[in-house]
Structure 1
């Protein structure tokens, strides 16, 4: 059930606000990711110990995701986004101060728990806002929202590379970014819907009543949702392993400096952005399943090149292919989960939870393996999961309104072909 037309906000400012929310979330994440070498050095920990820090963030993310549909059903997406972005901004400053100024592993670990929880809940809420805009607009544009997230990571990574090259401490950098992100958050949330515009997405059942706790848990028995989660698991592992380990992998595995490691992550983020910008047109033309399978093959090939080829230009091309192939898995999974608006909140939360399992299992596994066989060799496990996602891609096939919209998009092209074929 959706809100009456009269209560709907103007589409343009709503859509623009969602773009900005995704970008702010990306800048926050990139600031943390790109400065991981500096944080590790400030804390003076081994690679496997640093993996435990990332595990703390992953545990927080899973807890946030598991509770997200229930919190959103109670508070609505606008309030959740506000609280989530404020919490992650403050957390970012505390991570930098905890590592550089205090030098406390415990402070950084606890902060990352809250940082991860806020990130997980915000992730579901902003994807629901994106789904609301999609349904209002009548076209799948979720990859563009995720492109905005990637654009935010480019900006965040570029700033991080610059300040790292200047020798600015991570505490000063993270605190300054936190202030910037807080101000931007307080401005942008004013343009998100205040009323029950997203009621059907946020937690109403098919009869228009508030969904119950049992209703939201029942989604875990849906085979299609679990398979979509498996797609997102593999592709989130592909994306998340770059977020968590790419900078460190090239620094440790190829002997480059920290600024070059940040640049490598910037190449990946740029490829993700390009893939997501082009993704809407590609999805319109070919549909979800072929695009997901082709993307997975490209990501696997690029990752294999990075692992096996010790040549800067070729490795950079591999990183670019890895990012390009990883770009559409998560947004397409979110769109597929939201095909049924009456269960979108629970479905998106479930798919995101399965996908974020990659962030729970991945960091310590790659960290422990990386300590023994090197981070680059540890990335072979990521390649295997990408191929698993390719096999499960059929579950994301368009259904309901999404299938109807795709058929409508293709109708003019078919009519043109039929017209040309007439004698």
Structure 2
């Protein structure tokens, strides 16, 4: 939502309200990160509660993917209808409801269909929330006049660590899945009500007129897929998100099997990756303000290419560790800065963010299985060459993330 797209915007009315708005959006990022990582450690319990096998768990989790993609497509309409505050609050409450349904469906009713519906609801909420918080974050950046999106995405990363740690702790302490998920649903609902109070309730101008026919709204969204610059931004996000998703799924196994390290050591390599990515995002904002968005993405993706070369080719463990950290730096900035660039690249920021977010989601969700399939034929380290090549492509086309000069207001 740019300046010409809001009705009676109260944004940046004073510095205090602007700061509250900033931290409210950052909190929403953190809540999203907590949610998407909380069930990973509980999948064995979910499988036991439902009396199913791993293949069925994979199908159940696909409901989250389908819901996420649907939510990405619907985010623009939700923002137009509900405004910033209403959209964020409603989506977080939907996620809380989905978590409650998962907990009740698995631990109380033992019904697969309820769990599927719960994951679909969480997926829809997270997908639409991802677009909404990035649109809000881009507006906060413009109001502040400084780069803040990497720090906000660092909050998502930190939230993911908290969510995974919470799930692991509950599993270790013997807390039932339904108790954990129901408690988290209540806490998330309360946090949604509190955090979103500081988000301005500005409504995009297109929501004040008569609602456009469905076919016309679909054409408006689809037109984003014909915008060359938007597709190049998506290509940057494709490379870095494939790099992040591949690390999340395959880094530990590659260190253990291909670099012949013990499981505990391999786990520490993944910790180093997660820490490197989070720290890079925390310090990334000042870097962007100093050197610019394009140079920052070029520098980080170049570091990622070097890091992956070391990870694939190096033999000493210390050199592989350096490669791991550089790999993490390489994937740290492309997604948040790509979101900022997409939001300011033209009219209807929510629809434009939805396009590039869809590309990033596909890379993160579909890329790791592709790497796994290639590893069956060529080995895991050789399969990672695909990730390296796409990260190099992201380096080449990163000029698409240039910052547009804001229109001068009379």
One fold, TM greater than 0.5?
A: yes
User: 1:101-120 to 2 correspondence within 5 Å?
Assistant: 108-120=115-127
Q: Is the contact between residue 275 and residue 327 of structure 1 (CA under 8 Å) also seen in structure 2?
A: yes
Aligned length: 395
1:25 aligns with 2:32: yes
Aligned to 1:284: 289
Shift of 1:231: 1.0
1:14 aligns with 2:21: yes
Residue in structure 2 matching 1:220, options 219, 225, 248: 225
TM (normalized to structure 1)? 0.78
User: 1:338-377 to 2 correspondence within 5 Å?
Assistant: 338-340=343-345, 342-366=347-371, 368=373
Aligned to 1:234: 239
1:105–1:318 CA distance, 2 compared to 1 (3 A): farther
Aligned to 2:136: 129
Aligned to 2:186: 179
1:310–1:59 CA distance, 2 compared to 1 (3 A): farther
1:271 aligns with 2:273: no
Q: Is the contact between residue 301 and residue 394 of structure 2 (CA under 8 Å) also seen in structure 1?
A: yes
C-alpha offsets along residues 334-364 of structure 1, whole Å, 9 cap, x if unaligned?
Answer: 1111224643222112111222221452254
1:52–1:386 CA distance, 2 compared to 1 (3 A): farther
DSSP-derived class of the 1:401 partner? coil
C-alpha offsets along residues 174-228 of structure 1, whole Å, 9 cap, x if unaligned?
Answer: 44333322221121111111233xx36xx589xx998862444433221101111
Q: Is the contact between residue 142 and residue 332 of structure 1 (CA under 8 Å) also seen in structure 2?
A: yes
2-side partners of 1:103 and 1:249: how far apart?
A: 36
1:190–1:293 CA distance, 2 compared to 1 (3 A): same
Residue in structure 2 matching 1:293, options 293, 298, 305: 298
Q: Is the contact between residue 55 and residue 364 of structure 1 (CA under 8 Å) also seen in structure 2?
A: no
Aligned to 2:151: 144
TM (normalized to structure 2)? 0.80
Q: Is the contact between residue 147 and residue 286 of structure 2 (CA under 8 Å) also seen in structure 1?
A: no
User: 1:66-105 to 2 correspondence within 5 Å?
Assistant: 66-95=73-102
C-alpha offsets along residues 353-399 of structure 1, whole Å, 9 cap, x if unaligned?
Answer: 22222145225434555677777765544333322222221211222
2-side partners of 1:64 and 1:289: how far apart?
A: 29
C-alpha offsets along residues 301-351 of structure 1, whole Å, 9 cap, x if unaligned?
Answer: 444555667877665544433322211111100111122464322211211
Unmatched runs of 5 consecutive residues or more in structure 1: 405-423
1:23–1:251 CA distance, 2 compared to 1 (3 A): farther
1-side partners of 2:308 and 2:57: how far apart?
A: 23
2-side partners of 1:84 and 1:136: how far apart?
A: 24
1:58 aligns with 2:65: yes
2-side partners of 1:106 and 1:315: how far apart?
A: 44
Q: Is the contact between residue 85 and residue 182 of structure 1 (CA under 8 Å) also seen in structure 2?
A: yes
1:93–1:71 CA distance, 2 compared to 1 (3 A): same
Root mean square deviation of aligned Cα: 3.8
Q: Is the contact between residue 10 and residue 200 of structure 2 (CA under 8 Å) also seen in structure 1?
A: no
